[in-house]
A and B are shown apart, each in its own frame.
Chain A
Amino acid sequence: MCEACPIIDWAEALPTVRSFTARLVSESMTEFIVWYDRYEPEQKPLVGAKNASLGEMMGAGMPVPPGFALTTEAYRIIWSHQDLVDDVNGMLRQLDHDDLAQNAEVANRIRGRIESVPVPAEVVDALSRAYEDLCSHCDLADLPVAVRSSATAEDLPDASFAGQQDTYLWICGVQSVIEHTRRCWSSLFTDRAIAYRHQMGYLHRGIGMSVGVQKMVDPISSGVAFTLNPSNGDRSQVAIDASWGLGEAVVSGEVTPDNFLVDKVLHEVVKREISHKHMEYRLTDDGVVEKVEIEVDRQAQASVSDAELVAIAQLARRAEKHYGCPQDVEWAIDRHLPEGENVLMLQSRPETVWSRRQTQPLNRGGTDTMASIVSTLVSPLHKKSDPPDAR
């Protein structure tokens, strides 16, 4: 057993969460659901970083697919089963952090135990009603949704635990949504999540799990956008990587995406490199996401039009303005939405490489115009096709 891993003591951890929750949601219809379009920043501890970010983007008027968060309050309730707490604590005590296989096996057992707990009726009720509302809002029965984990750590308000918890795509129907909600809850106890907390010395307690339920985008193409030129830090440009189908292909690096630079101000595509895109992830007729080969004639085609590129760039610029710093945005072009409304934003995070650099006033700046003109005339000027990458 691991002495270093403090055992979950839910009885101790929960009152804080509850008092916070009580204050926030006392006037709302339900304690369990926060719709993205009604999200308030104080609700972040209730919905986790991922949901908070989607809610914030939507609040800023960005085209985020509609959805809602099931709050940590729902997660809290399952831990009111004292036998669950005892069982999980018991299993945590058996962990041997040096034995990866054992670790995985214990983690699996913990997840299974958590998923075996019946979801409380009030949670099922709230979740079902919210999902039905989302279906009718989108005018589609059994609307396909993404069900996402959105962890929250009371002590670590900004910890995103990126990539540690599960996301389930193309989930259809209430039963399946409930099923995958449980899996999201239990994904706090994947072997890698446990190992991460162990390595970082984070407590297992005080970590809550909210779940996001968001309309699934069926993208023609998708990708990422940086609100600066990553080769030289030029903030007047947006760099866009794009490929066919779902964004997984780009994010995972399985394809070399098309690469574009779009001028933020002039709204012009200033550089385009169309690459050879051999595969994409897309929804098959059976409703599952599959990795498929791309037809030959589409492989070397641009995966986005110029008009779409400009729309993506403008969207990324809006996110940058909203957050006040350069952003790294995930976007998708929805197959089913009309042109002009089909560019959607899936995520926006602060850009980290160039943004961390110390900024200094420009050499050619200053207000002594004459001195500056002299130096302009004397020092070599720009050349026609000075490639910024070569500097």
Chain B
Amino acid sequence: MSTNRFESPFEVEGPEGVEGWEELYSPSASFGAARRQYEDDRFWFWDSMHWGHAMTPWDSYFFEVALASLSQMNSRHYRIPPADGVDFRVLYGYAYLSPVGVDPSKIADRVPQFMERAGFYFGNWNDLYDKWLGKVKDTIARIEALDFNPLPEMEDLEVVTGGIGLGSGFELLKSYHQFRDLVLEAWNYHFEFLNLGYAAYLDFFGFCKEAFPSIPDLGIAKMVAGVEVDLFRPNEELKVLAQKAVDLGIARAFDDPENVSLEGGPGAEWQAAWDAVEDPWFNFTSGNGFYHFDKIWKEERSVPYGFIRDYIAKIEAGEDITRPIEAITAERDRVVAEYRDLLNGDEDREAFDSKLGLARVVFPYVENHNFYIEHWAMSVVWRKVRELGATLAKDGLLAHDDDLLFVRPDEVDQILWDYYANWAVNSPTMSAAKWGPVVERRRAIHAKLSQWQAPKALGEPPEVITEPFTIMLWGITSESVASWLGAGADADGITGMAASPGVAEGVARLVFSPADVGELEEGEILVAPITAPSWAPVFPKIRACVTDIGGMMSHAAIVCREYGVPAVTGTGFGTNTISTGDRIRVDGSSGTVTILD
């Protein structure tokens, strides 16, 4: 280890030719003179697990919304005794986080507050979760209902005869403001239960680690994980549709996923089956929902059609692709019974039962929120962004449909006002002239930022990482920080979390974005910065999986275990060290990856 600290955020040298990059992002998420001392004293890590790419202004906006929502629950709602929020910044387009701990002398005061508040949630979890499902579906429906269509030449007659007195321009501005509020609402809900759920899980986790000091994390995860989880539904629905295509004799229609034509009665019947499950289940992104470029199954059908083609091939080869629910349940029961049996006395067994019981009560939320917010809500949110972008391009406020992505949400207000006012007056708008060059410049900057390798971390790391969520959600530990400081993988291999057991050897393929998932060939080993749950259909194809970042309960780890693919997550440097075509050995039981040749 050459040094004990990372570069200061003020020392980092960015890529060339990106002068003015700061204007793409919100001032409050920027490093700067106003808070330099505070910022220089902190440790920041790049959250490449969720934001692995350079962000556009809109990607970054949702990043800020998510982090503020997370923070607020810890600091203001539940008073998590040792943890306030997670501070966030954007540096050269990349997302940096810094968990804020509570002054140790104030932790005790927060304990009774936390006990009362969190206790209420734990005590009423199922009722509150049912209520949550209702709230979230309602929020999504309201986002879906927002109208971003072009302003009309003339208002409908009903606007007049109804004595409404408000016009489409007003509605558009209002819809846009509502849109921003609803996104924040969805993200508040995202974190309403999440960290409490993790806390209950951590409690059970800590108990198991004390009882069985070397229990693999995945042993604990196996006891808690749900069997029938909403997050798995989209993939399960694809299998059903693949089977249906075979049953209807139209399997060949999927041979070319880019060009599927469904004809005749069977085609219509299949289409009806798709339509019946499309909402909500195919509001499912091939990424993690945080990026404008993530492909949504419902919209980019070649993605799910490709998966359906693969499933059809398996069905035709006589494989049973259905999920063995009974066997999975039986295996979970067996694991629980055996660990319980190995405990030392009835007192410990009672504690085990009560902690496992709570962990299982909270876990449906922990697993399912991801579908409702990242997939479903964000699919709708990005669709709305695209609708608005198309409208502004159509009416000449911006040059291209996707120009909107390079205008910050707060700047969009200016464009919408220009649109509204000149629609009202019936006069020329000025936005295209003003924003055209800005968008082009920003687009070029973003392209350069995208090529840049962001540093893993900034500033001085704490001696020991104890912040519970840093470890749990991001898989960042004292060891991973030490290995980043060591600036490279160990000479004899790459290590990470033993996320899904088993050993496999094969040829590596690096996949940096969801768009490249389709390149994976049968029997290859997937090496990626991070994987997404919606990549699940490729898991039957691959031999193993290696990711740079991600904890034991990262969505990727859960899905890897579910599909029985050996996985090592949180290697830090996997994608730097391994190249496509390398033969590697992945030991998902010990958390090591070896490059063979």
A residues contacting B by CB (< 8 A) are 229, 232-237, 261, 263-266, 268-272, 306, 359, 361-367, 369-374, 376-385, 388, 391
A268 touches B342 (CB 8 A): no
A236 touches B570 (CB 8 A): no
B206 touches A382 (CB 8 A): yes
- Partner of B351 from A367, A373, A381 at Cβ < 8 Å: A367
- Partner of A384 from B219, B466, B475 at Cβ < 8 Å: B475
- Partner of A369 from B203, B211, B213, B503 at Cβ < 8 Å: B203
Query: Any chain A CB within 8 A of the CB of B545?
Result: no
For the A-B complex with A229-B213, A365-B351 known, give 20 more contacts whose Cβ atoms are closer than 8 Å: A263-B215, A264-B338, A265-B219, A266-B218, A269-B589, A270-B214, A362-B210, A362-B348, A363-B210, A369-B358, A370-B118, A373-B118, A373-B200, A373-B203, A376-B203, A377-B468, A381-B468, A384-B471, A384-B478, A385-B479
B residues contacting A by CB (< 8 A) are 80-83, 107, 111, 114-115, 118-119, 122, 199-200, 202-203, 205-207, 209-216, 218-219, 222, 335, 338-339, 342, 344-345, 347-348, 350-352, 354-355, 358, 464-466, 468, 471-472, 475, 477-480, 495, 497-498, 501-503, 570, 589-591
B466 touches A380 (CB 8 A): yes
Contacts of B344 in A (CB 8 A): 359, 361
Q: Report the Cα distance A372→B201, complex, angstroms.
A: 11
Residue of A261, A272, A377 with most partner-chain B CB within 10 A: A377
For B464, give the chain A residue with the smallest CB separation: A380
For A365, give the chain B residue with the smallest CB separation: B351
15 example contacts (A-B, Cβ-Cβ < 8 A) are as follows: A266-B219, A266-B222, A270-B216, A270-B589, A272-B590, A362-B211, A364-B203, A370-B119, A373-B199, A374-B114, A383-B464, A384-B477, A384-B480, A384-B497, A385-B495
B466 touches A268 (CB 8 A): no
For B342, give the chain A residue with the smallest CB separation: A235
A236 touches B212 (CB 8 A): yes
- Partner of B199 from A272, A367, A376, A382 at Cβ < 8 Å: A376
Contacts of A376 in B (CB 8 A): 199, 202-203, 206, 468
Task: Give min CB distance, B499 to chain A, whole Å.
Answer: 11
**A362 with B115: in contact, given A235-B342, A306-B503 (CB under 8 Å)?**
no
Q: Name B's interface SS.
A: helix
B213 touches A364 (CB 8 A): no
Contacts of A378 in B (CB 8 A): 81-82, 107
Task: Give min CB distance, B36 to chain A, whole Å.
Answer: 30
A367 touches B207 (CB 8 A): no
A236 touches B219 (CB 8 A): yes
Residue of B212, B465, B472, B478 with most partner-chain A CB within 10 A: B212
Task: Give min CB distance, B466 to chain A, whole Å.
Answer: 4
Contacts of B215 in A (CB 8 A): 234, 236, 263
Contacts of B358 in A (CB 8 A): 369
A234 touches B212 (CB 8 A): yes
Q: Report the Cα distance A367→B209, complex, angstroms.
A: 17
For B350, give the chain A residue with the smallest CB separation: A367
Task: Give min CB distance, A326 to chain B, whole Å.
Answer: 10
B354 touches A367 (CB 8 A): yes
A383 touches B213 (CB 8 A): no
**A377 with B80: in contact, given A235-B342, A361-B345, A362-B210 (CB under 8 Å)?**
yes
Task: Give min CB distance, A315 to chain B, whole Å.
Answer: 15
- Partner of B214 from A237, A272, A306 at Cβ < 8 Å: A237
For A317, give the chain B residue with the smallest CB separation: B338
For B476, give the chain A residue with the smallest CB separation: A384
Contacts of B216 in A (CB 8 A): 263, 266, 268, 270
For A236, give the chain B residue with the smallest CB separation: B212
Contacts of B495 in A (CB 8 A): 385
Q: Report the Cα distance A363→B211, complex, angstroms.
A: 9
Task: Give min CB distance, B391 to chain A, whole Å.
Answer: 47
For A359, give the chain B residue with the smallest CB separation: B344
Contacts of A366 in B (CB 8 A): 351
Q: Report the Cα distance A284→B5, complex, angstroms.
A: 62
Task: Give min CB distance, A334 to chain B, whole Å.
Answer: 25
Contacts of B465 in A (CB 8 A): 383
Task: Give min CB distance, B558 to chain A, whole Å.
Answer: 16
Contacts of A374 in B (CB 8 A): 81, 111, 114-115
Task: Give min CB distance, A234 to chain B, whole Å.
Answer: 5
Contacts of B206 in A (CB 8 A): 364, 376, 381-382
**A270 with B498: in contact, given A261-B214, A364-B206 (CB under 8 Å)?**
yes
Task: Give min CB distance, B516 to chain A, whole Å.
Answer: 28
For B501, give the chain A residue with the smallest CB separation: A268
Q: Report the Cα distance A361→B82, complex, angstroms.
A: 26
The 6 closest A-B pairs by CB, nearest first: A365-B351, A384-B477, A380-B466, A236-B212, A361-B347, A232-B213
Q: Report the Cα distance A364→B207, complex, angstroms.
A: 5
B589 touches A268 (CB 8 A): yes
Contacts of B80 in A (CB 8 A): 377
**A383 with B501: in contact, given A265-B339, A268-B589, A376-B206 (CB under 8 Å)?**
no
B219 touches A263 (CB 8 A): yes
Contacts of B209 in A (CB 8 A): 382
For A320, give the chain B residue with the smallest CB separation: B342
Residue of B83, B203, B216, B219 with most partner-chain A CB within 10 A: B203
Contacts of A268 in B (CB 8 A): 216, 501-502, 589
For B497, give the chain A residue with the smallest CB separation: A384
Residue of A367, A373, A378 with most partner-chain B CB within 10 A: A373
Contacts of B200 in A (CB 8 A): 369, 373
B211 touches A377 (CB 8 A): no
Q: Report the Cα distance A369→B122, complex, angstroms.
A: 10
Residue of A266, A363, A367 with most partner-chain B CB within 10 A: A266
Contacts of A236 in B (CB 8 A): 212, 214-215, 219, 339, 342
Task: Give min CB distance, A316 to chain B, whole Å.
Answer: 13
Contacts of A232 in B (CB 8 A): 213-214
B501 touches A266 (CB 8 A): yes
Task: Give min CB distance, B319 to chain A, whole Å.
Answer: 23
Contacts of A235 in B (CB 8 A): 212, 342
Q: Report the Cα distance A378→B320, complex, angstroms.
A: 47
